[in-house]
A = this chain, B = another copy of it.
Amino acid sequence: MTDPSNINAGVARLPAASRQLRLGIVGGGGGGFIGPVHAIAARMDNRYRLVAGALSSRPDIARAAGAEWFLPADRSYTDYRDMARAEAARPDGAEVVAITTPNHSHHAIARAFLDQGIHVICDKPMTTQLADALDLRQKVTETGLGFYVTHGFAAYPMVRQARAMVAAGKLGRIGAMHVEFMGDWLTPSPDEGAMPPAGWRTDPALSGPGGAIADIGTHAFHLARFVSGQEVSGLLAQLSRAHPARRLDDNAHLLLRFEGGATGSLLASQVSPGNDCELRFRIYGDRGGLEWSQADANHLWFTETGQETRRIARGGTGTMPAAQHMTRVPRGHPEGYLEAFANLYSEVALDLIARIDGIRSDTECLAAAIADGVLGVAFVEAAVASDRLGNIWQDPRALI
């Protein structure tokens, strides 16, 4: 145990919840990765209680997963529409549902729950077509329901620290921002004649028009805007595929322009051997620069122009409240991806309880805005259009 008072100096958790939210979940039973991530994230800070689920559309899997997750048998559904109706009808029904299924199903599922008055937490990209995202946005506007898109990387403490430092002017006028999300999990084998199936991610019918640009590029795009505090006013994309038989891009290389005059680049790749979900950003102004990488998530590297580079540690000296509120354990003990996702879930909980119970919250829900979800879908379409039209500038905002 290691808890002298000073070592907790950089730890300032979010406000306690007045109560727990009743959460339902769709997807997650079939061995995919993101369903359990949502469940752990919801559980970590004790702000949710999982009460219902449609964990799989296959009855046997749904049943087994429901038992494993300790769902009551009668609230472990196989059809999300049944779930939406039944939970809406219960006085103790799910207040909010987390959608963790493949992209193409997000719209229908979200719509089913919104139609029943149930708030939604939706994985990204929000939908595979912009029209669907706009439809959900309109429904949300009409109903006043909460709709949250999980750009979970934006809830890493040191990402918040970066955003806060930029907003506070520590970097001066921003000149350039570079962001990238590099993976290798779709690297084709050189021996395969035709590409093997790589799950729904390489199928346009299930993933939408974007491959890497949608799957991970949207995260990079969100981070670029989130950290810089500036909208991307232009993008110029070159999309490519590592294998001719692949139907969606697996390499996306973009030039960026920001509304404040900065320029930059965005790389997204699923075919870069040696990269394990390497998400990074670099942002430079005339007063200083910042660099961050998920692989070293607990540190932010800050250089004031003309000074030595400094390593700001999560929980340590130099952290600002924006980061401290995302911090659970003292500096040195690493927090990771699940903690970031849980931070997002905690912010959603505070926002949602305030909304449902009609109370005021001082905590902004920064990383889950529906507007960012909609813009993420527009980003994919703008990038695909830029590439198709011969690598010309597109403004993703113009599509909305």
Contacts and interface: CB of A to CB of B under 8 A. Distances in A.
A337 B331 contact: no
A92 interface: no
- Residue of A190, A290, A308 most packed against chain B (CB within 10 A): A308
A43 B39 CA distance: 11
Nearest to A35: B3
A90 interface: no
A3 B32 contact: yes
A3 B199 contact: yes
Given A173-B190, A289-B184, A304-B273, A46 B20 contact: no
A301 B182 CA distance: 15
A289 B316 CA distance: 16
A8 interface: yes
A295 interface: yes
Given A4-B186, A263-B253, A305-B189, A276 B69 contact: no
A173 B251 CA distance: 14
Given A33-B7, A271-B175, A318 B308 contact: yes
B309 A274 contact: yes
Given A255-B253, A318-B308, A328-B36, A334 B294 contact: yes
A391 B333 contact: no
Given A33-B7, A184-B305, A335 B332 contact: no
Each complex incorporates copies of this chain amounting to 4
Given A43-B44, A311-B309, A1 B185 contact: no
Nearest to A278: B332
B339 A338 contact: yes
Interface stretch (A75-83, A134-142, A234-242, A352-360): A234-242
A243 interface: yes
A91 interface: no
A223 to B, nearest CB: 15
Say what secondary structure dominates the interface of chain A.
loop
Given A238-B255, A328-B36, A68 B4 contact: no
B337 A338 contact: no
A303 interface: yes
A11 interface: yes
Given A70-B20, A187-B286, A255 B46 contact: no
A86 interface: no
Contacts of A276: 313, 315-316, 330-332
Interface string A225-251: 000000000001010101100000001
Nearest to A314: B276
Nearest to A30: B3
A321 interface: no
A183 B2 contact: yes
A388 interface: no
Contacts of A273: 284-285, 287-289, 303-306
A123 interface: yes
A240 B285 CA distance: 13
B190 A287 contact: yes
A124 interface: yes
A329 B334 contact: no
A230 to B, nearest CB: 15
A381 B294 CA distance: 37
A312 interface: yes
18 contacts: A1-B32, A1-B34, A4-B199, A6-B185, A7-B33, A8-B32, A172-B190, A176-B271, A189-B305, A238-B255, A253-B263, A255-B391, A274-B302, A274-B309, A276-B332, A295-B298, A335-B337, A338-B338
